[in-house]
Amino acid sequence: MARVLVVDDDPDILSLVQIQLRQAGHITRGASSGPEALAAVDAEGAPDVAILDVRMPGMNGYELLRELRTRGFSHLPVIFLSARAEHEDIADGGAVPDAYLTKPYASSDLLSEIKRVLLRQ
């Protein structure tokens, strides 16, 4: 069981991911934007792992990841979950996630990646 922060601007995807993770025994906290996610981390502390969408209005996933690293969460495992699958989206410089899954995704793949990144810690 892990505490997982899920960040996605699409409410349906946000809800779906949280339901799948809760069914697997994880505790989730959802946020619909980068600023909301940062406020949650500031208020509640760092989760065990974060799942971030790449394309969000205002602050995208790479910007959010860079801000988390700047705030001292350098060891927070981050999984990108995005519909963007182009090489330049995956290899955006300066912010490297621990894993990158594309939508649509298999729930089993997401759960496997969570387990993998947590075991690396």
Q: Which residues of the chain have pLDDT under 50?
A: none
The answer to whether the CB of 72 falls within 8 A of the CB of 41 is no
Q: Give the total number of structural domains in the chain.
A: 1
What's the pLDDT score for residue 63?
93
CATH number of the domain enclosing 25: 3.40.50.2300
What's the pLDDT score for residue 87?
52
Domain that holds residue 52: 3-119
**If you average pLDDT over every residue of the chain, what do you get?**
91
What's the pLDDT score for residue 97?
85
What's the pLDDT score for residue 45?
93
Sign of CA dihedral 104, 65, 79, 114: negative
What's the pLDDT score for residue 83?
84
CA neighbours closer than 13 Å in the CB half-sphere of residue 108: 0
Which structure tokens are listed for 51?
A: 């799942």
